[in-house]
Chains A and B, each alone.
Chain A
């Protein structure tokens, strides 16, 4: 618990900043919806402002922008998934590699603590931070639904969406944690982790835009938590519930294996 408390304290500032920023973003976006719900023309203007191809990327072809969850799925969810994934990547890639780049790892390893425990306590902090972060986004969304507009909300679908978003963040965290178990230069690991998020997001956009690239959707985690699919079906599809847990298990599991075998020196 010593490491857990220490990391919790060390990462609290970033958690507060990211949670506040995305919570505020949710409110701002939802107040745009309030404006538009009053004037249907505005909504059409907004929809037509997007090129045709992008409609599919943001689910505008399936989702009804005039309904609150439809708008949320298109406008808000695409932001919170992307920015949240960036937060998850920065958090998870730094928590372990920072000990090495700041050369404090020799201090830590000389203490009576196993490498497995180091990883477990650090992972627990990542998990807790992501839970809190997603709770804040979820709460901000729920409050904005209740205060900024008058439509009925299908809460079960909203919860599903929030859970999907959490799974996506966790998947990126697991992947970046895995990478940081063997890449320890701080600049390299940060670029690689951010690159992973941005490239998979780009693949998601590109594969939705071009039919010939459609198969590439399976390569990007964003596809497995696609708001249009989840809000339409009201459930996760089989691939999503297989692939994301697999990333979580393989990512963290191989981090343990690699880190325990590695030679560590500064």
Chain B
């Protein structure tokens, strides 16, 4: 069974674009990244999955349950961390977590304490008095406490310092080993690279691509840096699969996503003195999805 199955999902806010005909699926047990710049439609998609907003057209299901009709069943199985964490100011962190957990049944005090220890959070503090990062920690525990089958995390690392991000990723890894599915939105690409199995890339409300991280970074794309004999030549390099090229003095930089043998035979004909072929960072790969 698919953990999340989204079909032709569309949302318009009046005439304004939300998302248009988004289709992708997440397998159970997967850690799935959802990548795009701010305003691309990541939060809109997530809010539709949780039935905060209603889709204009299309459909989606979570563990086989319809997101509109069976929303209550779905929310029993999901832990959600919103991108901006807002809680009741009159509560202490522990009060909020108990309040949250009470909706799912019994409160697992031991798990609450363990999660708080892992994240180094003082549960006795009033939420009002907590810093942005500490509020985020409350949000993370709130999402995980009732041991959901699916974690939906909207920009989870914002506000966490690098050390805490590392702890947080380890916690996600632990959940993954237990078979929990993680759906994780972000605009920070390196963190997605670290933890996700696959990513969906969204831009201006449209899905550009769903790709496994290994495909994205290892198999398809290469950073090619060619050092030419002279600066004078400025004829560009023409070959299918060149996503981007940049000429700076003697140096020609390419982001290449085509047949590597064709590239080599083309390079062979060039008056070059040096060549480097490297793995591009995910940032570089995505920059071109964004720009296209």
Q: What is A's interface to B at a CB cutoff of 8 Å?
A: 2, 6, 10, 102-104, 106-107, 109-114, 261, 263-266
Contacts and interface: CB of A to CB of B under 8 A. Distances in A.
B129 to A, nearest CB: 16
Contacts of B80: 106, 110
B99 A102 contact: no
B103 A112 contact: yes
Interface of A is mostly: loop
Interface string B66-105: 0000011101101010101011111000000001101110
A240 B72 CA distance: 40
A106 B142 CA distance: 13
B224 to A, nearest CB: 44
A106 B90 contact: no
Contacts of B196: none
B82 A106 contact: yes
Contact of A265 (B52, B72, B100): B52
B107 to A, nearest CB: 11
A104 B100 CA distance: 12
A161 B23 CA distance: 62
B75 A111 contact: yes
Contacts of B142: 107
A266 B90 contact: no
B102 A109 contact: no
Given A2-B103, A107-B100, 11 more contacts: A6-B99, A102-B86, A106-B86, A109-B50, A109-B51, A111-B104, A112-B103, A114-B72, A263-B53, A263-B54, A266-B86
Contacts of B88: 102, 104
A102 B89 contact: yes
Contacts of B176: none
A111 B84 contact: no
8 contacts: A102-B88, A110-B80, A110-B82, A112-B72, A113-B103, A261-B54, A264-B53, A265-B43
Given A111-B75, A112-B75, A113-B103, A103 B84 contact: yes
A111 to B, nearest CB: 4
Contact of A2 (B51, B84, B99): B99
Contact of A109 (B52, B73, B90): B52
A107 B89 contact: no
Interface string B47-58: 100111110000
Contacts of A111: 75, 100, 103-104
Interface in B117-147: 142
A197 B99 CA distance: 35
A266 B52 CA distance: 10
Interface in B28-76: 43, 47, 50-54, 71-73, 75-76
B9 to A, nearest CB: 14
A181 to B, nearest CB: 15
Nearest to B100: A111
Contacts of B104: 111-112
A10 B100 contact: no
B53 A2 contact: no
B67 to A, nearest CB: 13
A111 B43 CA distance: 17
A110 B86 contact: no
A106 B154 CA distance: 12
Contacts of A263: 13, 52-54
A100 to B, nearest CB: 10
A106 B103 contact: no
Contacts of A103: 84, 86
A166 B43 CA distance: 44
A104 B103 contact: no
Interface in B182-206: none
A172 B158 CA distance: 43
A259 to B, nearest CB: 12
B84 A266 contact: yes
A10 B54 CA distance: 30
Contacts of A261: 54
Interface string B267-289: 00000000000000000000000
B184 to A, nearest CB: 16
Q: Closest 9 CB pairs between A and B?
A: A103-B86, A263-B53, A111-B103, A110-B80, A112-B76, A112-B75, A106-B82, A264-B52, A2-B102
Contacts of B87: 104, 107
A5 to B, nearest CB: 9
B78 A110 contact: yes
Contact of A107 (B43, B71, B86, B102): B86
A70 to B, nearest CB: 45
Nearest to A108: B103
Contacts of B13: 263
Nearest to B44: A265
A263 B13 CA distance: 10
A263 B47 CA distance: 9
B282 to A, nearest CB: 29
A95 B165 CA distance: 36
Nearest to B139: A107
Contacts of B100: 107, 111
